[in-house]
Structure 1
Amino acid sequence: MSKFLKKFYTVLIFIFLYAPIVVLIIFSFNNSKSRGSWNGFTLKWYIELFKNEEIMKALYYTIIIAVLSAVISTIIGTLAAIGIYNMNYLGKKVALNINYLPVLNPDIVTAVSLMTLYRFMNIQLGFLSMLLSHITFCIPYVILSVLPKLKQLNKHLAEAAMDLGATPFYALRKVIIPEIMPGIVTGALMAFTLSIDDFVISFFNTGSGVTNLSITVYSMARRGIKPEINALSSLMFLTVLVLLLIINKRTTKDLERRGDIA
């Protein structure tokens, strides 16, 4: 009986979390603009979505910023993780605690802080400020993804490579990075997902003419929910779901390869 109640409670939680998303996806195929009745299956809202210039412009900025921020934050985060890993005990603790701050901080605090910094430095709010903001909040997640792989790395591999004549940079490129590549890829995918999903930091640090999908959906929702938003939200949900499944699959494969799980 206790096992049944636990399973029943778990099912209720998942229904509570995902029922609204399922309804949204279903009504993205509704032939009517009304969300209170079903008038047949259609794909016209998806067609209208891709004809909407405002949404297509927001999609362009979203993809460009997500790709650039993922690539740049992955490079910086990987190098930072390697540096933190090679610090002494005290330095490592201080660096990790500093790295945790952007993760634990409410988004509104990070957003306002970055906006204040840009104003102080006379940086015009726009594409550059949004890109820098996304890179800033993605780097800690990349570091946290790469560090566990560094801890699993044999400390003597790089030393052995350099004893055989490799330069430190060559050892980094050919020995260390291939060994921690699963963590780097996971960090990059996580950075990409976080960038696509972000609203608060983007909202406070963008300028006129530059907007991403989350800001566009927010502004459209204030004027009234259109069926195109249902289609857009469904596509965004599926995109993030696929990325999360890829991350989970890579993590599972890595654990199986190391023998941590059966």
Structure 2
Amino acid sequence: MTTRTLWKLTALSLTLSAPSFAADWRNDGNLRRKEVKSTEALEQAREDRGFALGLRAGYSLPLGSAVGSDRGEAPGMRDAYSGAIPLQVDVGYFFNSNVYLGAYFQYAPVFLAEDCGADVSCSANQLRFGVNASYHFRASEKLMPWLGLGIGYELLDTKLSASAGDLETVIGAGARGIEFASVQGGADYRVSDTFSIGPYLSLAAGVYQTATSRLETKNVPILGDISESASESIDDKAVHAWLSGGVRMQFRF
């Protein structure tokens, strides 16, 4: 084999092996870029861990029935209540950028479906509390849609009061029960690293299990003040729900 032939074979082998070297170099670069992106995502998730405080305000509509009936169609929640203004506080913890677990407490003035009358004043309110979890999606650097699920307990109270001279009478009625599912969703717009705001929508379904009543009468001649209260289990249970929508603010720590 001549020297010229040897050089030709060497050049040919280098030409054939060059694409594989180039491919290995490109693949190595892609892997390095993927490793960098994965590291950045992991660091971002770690930075997003921490406690969060949320404040919600909106409007709720009642659905379903408070109690059932064995004589036909039960009276609906809308027959007694027209709506409510829920004011809610959320306190929880972000385990990373996506997963949140926390507790909530809500107070809501409730509007009655009918006026009480000239000589009677009436009001109603609702308390809800429990735990909820949510998963947050990063649609962009600023926008994070989320979905959540909660479970809790609900208390609904209605009060009627009237007076005639020195005699004052207060009649109260209420219902208590488990809120077995609260499906939630919304979108957070991150104004800064510590503050976000956005709309939310929730549907909380539950069953009232206990009915309460009370009677308070003041300044009764001879007897003075009288106060009585009672509670009993609801036999004919029914499913009711509150459909709520509004705005949520969230502060991250």
Is the shorter-chain TM-score for this pair beyond 0.5, marking a shared fold? no
Q: Normalising by structure 1, what TM-score?
A: 0.23
Q: Normalising by structure 2, what TM-score?
A: 0.23
Larger radius of gyration: 2
Question: Which protein has greater RCO, CA pairs closer than 8 Å, 6+ apart?
Answer: 1
Question: Counting strand residues as a fraction of each chain, which structure ranks higher?
Answer: 2
